[in-house]
Amino acid sequence: MNLEAVKIHPQQAVWEGYRNNLPRYLIGLSRYLQSRTMHTLCDELGYTDLKINYEPFFTLVGSEGCRLTELADWLAISKQSCNRTANQIKKAGYLEDKPDPSDGRAKILVMTDKGRQMVAKASDVSLKLESSFKAGLGSREYTQLLQMIRRIYDSLDMPKLRVDIPGADHNAGLLVSLLPRVSDHFMQLLMEATRARGHVGLKMSHGQVLSLIGLSGGRIQQMAKIQDVSKQAISAIAKELEHLGYIHQSPDPDDARGVVLMFTDSGVNLLADSVAAVDSVENQLVAILGQRDLLVLKQISKQLYQSLHLEEEVFSPRLSNLSLVVDENLSVLAAKLRRELGDEAVRTLGQLLIQT
C-alpha cells in the first residue's frame, strides 16, 4: 500500500468493522441471489425486459395485489418514484391495474399472466440457488439462517409472505423473498443513522459506490458488474459523491486510461460513522433475536458470504508482483467466473481444465 493510501484510509479497526459486519454479509448475499436469478431469467429464459429493481414489486404485489401507496410505504420510497417504476413494469407487461375489490373507486396492482409465468420461472431458479446455499452450509445451519431472517422480517411492518411452489416444502423460496426486504431495511437504517451523524446529503443509491471502494480504491466497471447496473449509472452516482466531497479520482495504476475512486478525508470520516451506525443497527437486532442468536446469524452469514467470495476482488490487495498473490488472485478469478458463467458452466470448465 502506498503512503497516500495510508493517509486517506481509516484506522484498521474501523476498516475491519466497515468490511466485516452483518449488514454487509446479508446485503451481499441478497445481491448475489437477485443477480443470479436475474441473469438466468434474462440470458437463459428470454426475459430480456426485466431489471433488477423490479424484483421487490413482484415479491410484494404477490398473488393478491396491492395498492401503489402500500407498496411505496413498504419500500420506503416516494409515491412518485414507486409509480414511475410500476409504470415501467406495466409497460413491459408484467403488472396491470385492476379495481380494488374492497373499494371500487381505488385500483390495485396485480400480476398479469406474463408476470405469473415469469415468477414461476424465477421460483425454479430460486430453488436451485437455495439448494446450493443449503448444501454449502448444511441443513441445520441453513434452517437457522432462514428462521432468523424470517424473525427479522416478521418484526417489520411488511406483508406476510407465503411462497407457494408445487411439490416443494413450506420453506421453499422464502429466503429469496425475505432476504432482499431485510437487506433493504438494513440499508435504510444505516442511511438514516449516518444522516443523523451529519451526512445529510447521502442517498440510498450512494451505497452502490461507497460500499465497493476497497483499500486500493474502486473501479466503475467493477462496481457496475457487481451491482448488475450500467457503468453510466455508477458514473452518475460517483459524480454526486465527488460533489459531496466523499471521494476523488486517481489515475489507475493498472490502466493508463482509467481512474480509481478513492476516499477523501471526509469519506474516511463517513466510514467511521458508518461503522458506528452498524453497531446501532446490531443493537436493535438484539431486541429481536437476542444476543446469542444474533451471534449465530453473524457466524452463518459470514461463512456463506466468504464461501461465495462475494466482493473479494474489491477488498483483496492489488500488488504488481503476481507470484506473491497467485492463490488469492485465482480465488478472485474463480468468483468472477462463477458469477459470469453460472455454477453448471464453471463445473464443466473445471472438468475440461483437469482433462487438459
- The string of pLDDT tens digits covering residues 294-340 is 999 999 999 999 888 877 666 665 433 333 334 445 555 666 676 66
Average pLDDT of the segment spanning 263-271: 90
Lowest mean pLDDT among 90-94, 136-140, 269-273, 337-341: 337-341
**How far is C-alpha 121 from the geometric centre of its chain's CA atoms?**
21
Does residue 101 or residue 241 have the better pLDDT?
Answer: 241
How many angstroms separate the Cα of 2 from the Cα of each of 6, 108, 243, 257, 259? Answer: 7, 57, 25, 20, 16
In a domain, 122, yes or no: no
* Residue whose C-alpha cell reads 410484494 in the numeric block: 60
Lowest mean pLDDT among 1-5, 104-108, 346-350: 1-5
Distance CA 12, CA 191 (A): 23
Average pLDDT of the segment spanning 276-292: 90
Query: What is the residue-averaged pLDDT of the chain?
Result: 82
In a domain, 302, yes or no: yes
For residue 140, pLDDT over 70 is answered with yes
pLDDT of residue 151: 93
Average pLDDT of the segment spanning 119-135: 88
In a domain, 241, yes or no: yes
Grid cell listed for 215 = 483499500
Does residue 46 or residue 159 have the better pLDDT?
Answer: 46
Average pLDDT of the segment spanning 272-282: 89
Distance CA 181, CA 184 (A): 5
Domain CATH for 228: 1.10.10.10
Burial (0-12, 13-18, 19+ Cβ within 10 Å), 243: exposed
pLDDT of residue 6: 40
Lowest mean pLDDT among 105-109, 168-172, 280-284: 168-172
Average pLDDT of the segment spanning 129-138: 89
pLDDT of residue 320: 34
In a domain, 338, yes or no: yes
Average pLDDT of the segment spanning 2-25: 68
Distance CA 352, CA 250 (A): 40
pLDDT of residue 294: 95
Average pLDDT of the segment spanning 253-281: 87
For residue 111, pLDDT over 90 is answered with yes
Work out how many domains the chain is built from and give that number. Answer: 1
CB–CB of 263/9 below 8 Å?
yes
pLDDT in tens, 161-218: 655 444 444 565 678 888 998 998 888 888 888 999 999 888 888 888 988 888 778 8
How many angstroms separate the Cα of 52 from the Cα of each of 30, 34, 67, 93, 180? Answer: 12, 7, 21, 16, 11
In a domain, 197, yes or no: yes
Average pLDDT of the segment spanning 14-28: 87
Residue 111's beta-bridge partner residues? 95
Q: Which residues contact 32 (CB under 8 A, 6 or more apart)?
A: 308, 310, 339
Q: Is 350 left (phi over 0), alpha (psi -120 to 50) or beta?
A: alpha
Lowest mean pLDDT among 28-32, 39-43, 315-319: 315-319
In a domain, 265, yes or no: yes
pLDDT of residue 171: 60
pLDDT of residue 327: 43
Distance CA 289, CA 297 (A): 9
Distance CA 70, CA 106 (A): 12
In a domain, 319, yes or no: yes
Distance CA 203, CA 308 (A): 28
- This prediction has a pTM of 0.76
CB–CB of 305/29 below 8 Å?
yes
Domain of 212 in residue numbering reads as 3-19+182-346
| Three-state SS sequence of the chain | CCHHHHHHCCCHHHHHHHHCCHHHHHHHHHHHHHHHHHHHHHHHCCCCCCCHHHHHHHHHHCCCCECHHHHHHHHCCCHHHHHHHHHHHHHHCCEEEEEECCEEEEEEEEECHHHHHHHHHHHHHHHHHHHHHHHHHCHHHHHHHHHHHHHHHHCCCCCCCCCCCCCCCCCCCHHHHHHHHHHHHHHHHHHHHHHHCCCCCCCHHHHHHHCCCECCEECHHHHHHHHCCCHHHHHHHHHHHHHHCCEEEEEECCEEEEEEEEECHHHHHHHHHHHHHHHHHHHHHHHHHCHHHHHHHHHHHHHHHHHCCCCHHHHCCCCCCHHHCHHHHHHHHHHHHHHHHCHHHHHHHHHHHHHC
In a domain, 36, yes or no: no
